[in-house]
Amino acid sequence: MKLSTNLIISFILLIVIASLYRIMPGRPFGFAPQWAMMIFGGAVIKDKKLAFLIPILSLFISDALYEVLYRSGVGNIPGFYDGQVTNYILFAAMTVFGFMITKINVLQVFGASVAAPTAFFILSNFMVWIGGGGYAHPKTFSGLMATYADGVPFYGWSIVSSIVFSALLFGGYLLLRRSTEQQKTLVKA
């Protein structure tokens, strides 16, 4: 993928809009476009470093905005927290599910949209349980299950948002690609 000025501007706008959306008051936690950005980036962007960077940059910007709001007394959610680096690494790793999309179709996009948040849910909650993460659940099987139960509301919304925003991103991409191909055909004719 050649990085044209329009493409760079589009990526910058996507990062900014996704960052602002993520800090929107009243949004269900876990319902954010960054899930779809990971999958889309992994599937479509040829430069894999950029595929990892775009959703992480969006997360970082929104976390910085959360922190500014928190420190100014406007928000009650801190942007920076213990374990954040681990969370970012796990989140970035979910981009790999986009790499697994060999052909952009409903089945593969849907599968990645469910698999990425599911893998993140399993891994991140396990890490919270094993490392403490500020939770007092015991290091027993029932403690692990209690940690997973705490994460279920986030998990449900992450699945829904992954599917919704993936449909928007991949659908828009396919429409744009089809339009571009039709214009090329008309120019040749």
Tell me, yes or no, whether 164 lies in a domain.
Answer: yes
The pLDDT, as a whole number, for residue 135 is 67
Q: What are 144's two structure tokens?
A: 């692990």
* pLDDT (tens digit per residue) in 45-101: 888 888 888 888 888 888 898 899 889 988 788 888 887 888 889 889 999 999 999
3-state class of 129 per DSSP? helix
On whether residue 143 sits in a domain, the answer given is no
Is residue 52 in some structural domain? Answer: yes
Domain with 62, as residue range(s), is 5-119+159-188
The answer to whether residue 138 sits within a structural domain is no
* Of 179, 168, 153, the residue nearest 37 (C-alpha): 168
**Selected residue with higher pLDDT from 177 and 9:** 177
Q: Over 70: is that where the pLDDT of 8 sits? A: no
Q: Is pLDDT at 137 greater than 60 in this prediction?
A: yes
In Å, how far from its chain's centre is CA 80? 18
Contact between 66 and 23 under an 8 Å Cβ cutoff? The reply is yes
Angle between helices 48-71 and 5-22 (to 10 degrees): 40
- Is there a domain that residue 132 lies in? no
Q: Is the pLDDT of residue 1 over 50?
A: no
Comparing 161 with 3, the larger pLDDT belongs to 161
| Nearest partner of 97 among 33, 168, 42, judged by Cα | 42
Provide the mean pLDDT of the chain. 85
Task: Enter the tokens of residue 153.
Answer: 């509301």
pLDDT of 181 higher than 70 = yes
- Residues 37/55, Cβ–Cβ less than 8 Å: yes
Instruction: Look at 98 and 1; give whichever has higher pLDDT.
Output: 98
**pTM of the prediction?**
0.82
Please give the pLDDT value at position 106: 95
Number of domains in the chain: 1
Residue at 127 is within a domain: no
User: Is 146 within a domain?
Assistant: no
Structural domain includes residue 144:
no
- 118-135 tens-digit pLDDT: 999 999 999 889 886 556
